[in-house]
Amino acid sequence: MQERTLPPSHQLIPLEYPQTGWSLRRKRHGKQVFITREANQFLLNLNDYQKNEVYRALSKIVAEGGYGLTSGGLKTRPMAMRSKTDAIAAAGILNLVYSVNSEKIVVNAIGLNKSVVGPMPVASKERAGLYEVTRESNVRYSKQSSSADIQTLTKAWGHQRPVLEVSTAHAAVNGMQNDLLKARWLMGVHLDAAYWNDAADKYTLFHNPTAGFVQDVFECIQDKVGASKVAKQLAAILIDCQRKKRAIKWVCHSQGGIIFNRAVELVNDMGIRLEGQKVAIHAGGNKKERATEAFERAGLEVVDIDRDNPFDFVPNLAGGNNWSWSSIRRCYHFAKLVVGKQNPMQTSPHTLPFLSLETSIRHLQLNGYDDEAKRMIREQSRLGKC
């Protein structure tokens, strides 16, 4: 009787697992599982990966009768005498707020777990997830950018706000060895290079967190022979964008290209098309023929897949796109500028978007890397690139 007086958003409905053959409503403890209409609406708007995280947490709650195996009440009082109100369970980057009594388990609310999203003191503690990033200044990276301009790029994109879906016109996937603070500005720079005329003032970053160099490399290999959790999560995001009819323009850098390639393949395996969405891949560690085939099958428009510096070992060697002896020699001599942490970022053939060899040569000269500049000049005429 009391429930009828509640606002509609707080009224209870039975919670069902959406896949055939498995129900949460009644388990061995004899409890029914309910959810408020407001929480259920929130749940229905999540992508499939996020929903599975919620159902996994609910499964654990139900299996323990809603009290948890470490509950003091489990040891001191019979089930019928115990109650738990507003308990919290983690579901990935989400929290479930639920209540329990002797008859039912009620999911009261679902929301972001603010303790696990955002930048962390240790980058390996960061979680994969979506962040809406806004532009803070009009500084953009171009062929005319000076060294002083480049230093201000790190402040061009500002605060990141955790979100659960892509609602901006543009989105990005960062590469390996990027913490959230670096990824937010660097992918803003790559966004400008990919969609210059759009002059985007905000975008959604799908943050690919770093777990350390070795683990990041393992994740790259995993996506080439199997599928990482990050790729599965991105696949669910792509499907969610398609379901909500959002034509997103994506840009991916380095490992982001590998993740995006594998995510599209997972979507293809489900028989879902991605028509209306676009992608640009910069210095991707993915095999281009494999990516092109996957993108064509998905109906995904490729804006750019060849923005690679010929002296960058990531797309050429790690991506398997150019294993010629001359490519190996070029990439070997510039590898220290890719992996070194003490070099100005504009001297790396990998970090910033590749604009031209002339631009790369100019930045090497301005920063005192004369030997590398001379080597690039010697190769320039043979490569036939400006």
pLDDT band at 382 (very low <50, low <70, confident <90, very high): confident
Over the stretch 165-222, which tens digit does the pLDDT of each residue have? Answer: 999 999 999 999 999 999 999 999 999 999 999 999 999 999 999 988 899 999 999 9
Percent of the chain with pLDDT over 90: 73
Mean pLDDT of 320-345: 93
On the question of pLDDT at 259 being above 90, the answer is yes
pLDDT band at 82 (very low <50, low <70, confident <90, very high): very low
The confidence score (pLDDT) of residue 100 equals 84
Is the CB of residue 112 less than 8 Å from the CB of residue 164? yes
On the question of pLDDT at 83 being above 80, the answer is no
Q: For residue 248, which of 198, 178, 318, 181 has the smallest C-alpha distance?
A: 198
The confidence score (pLDDT) of residue 29 equals 57
The confidence score (pLDDT) of residue 149 equals 93
pLDDT band at 25 (very low <50, low <70, confident <90, very high): very low
The confidence score (pLDDT) of residue 59 equals 83
On the question of pLDDT at 60 being above 90, the answer is no
The confidence score (pLDDT) of residue 289 equals 97
The confidence score (pLDDT) of residue 4 equals 55
Q: How high is the mean pLDDT of the chain? A: 88
Q: For residue 78, which of 96, 65, 88, 87 has the smallest C-alpha distance?
A: 65
Mean pLDDT of 262-286: 97
In CATH, the number for domain 2-112 is 3.30.2310.20
1 vs 336: CA distance, rounded Å: 72
The number of angstroms, rounded, from the C-alpha of 286 to the middle of its chain's C-alpha atoms is 16
The confidence score (pLDDT) of residue 308 equals 97
Q: Is the dihedral of CA 289, 211, 173, 351 positive or negative?
A: negative
Residues of the chain within CATH 3.40.50 domain(s) are 123-307
The confidence score (pLDDT) of residue 139 equals 93
Average the pLDDT over each of 58-62, 205-209, 266-270, 273-277 and give the range with the smallest value. Answer: 58-62
On the question of pLDDT at 21 being above 60, the answer is no
Helix or strand (DSSP H, E) at 149: helix 147-151
On the question of pLDDT at 282 being above 90, the answer is yes
Q: Which CATH class is domain 123-307?
A: alpha beta
Residue 86 or residue 221, greater confidence: 221
Mean pLDDT of 152-170: 96
Residues of the chain within CATH 3.30.2310.20 domain(s) are 2-112
Percent of the chain with pLDDT over 70: 87
238 vs 18: CA distance, rounded Å: 20
Q: Is the dihedral of CA 379, 338, 185, 168 positive or negative?
A: positive
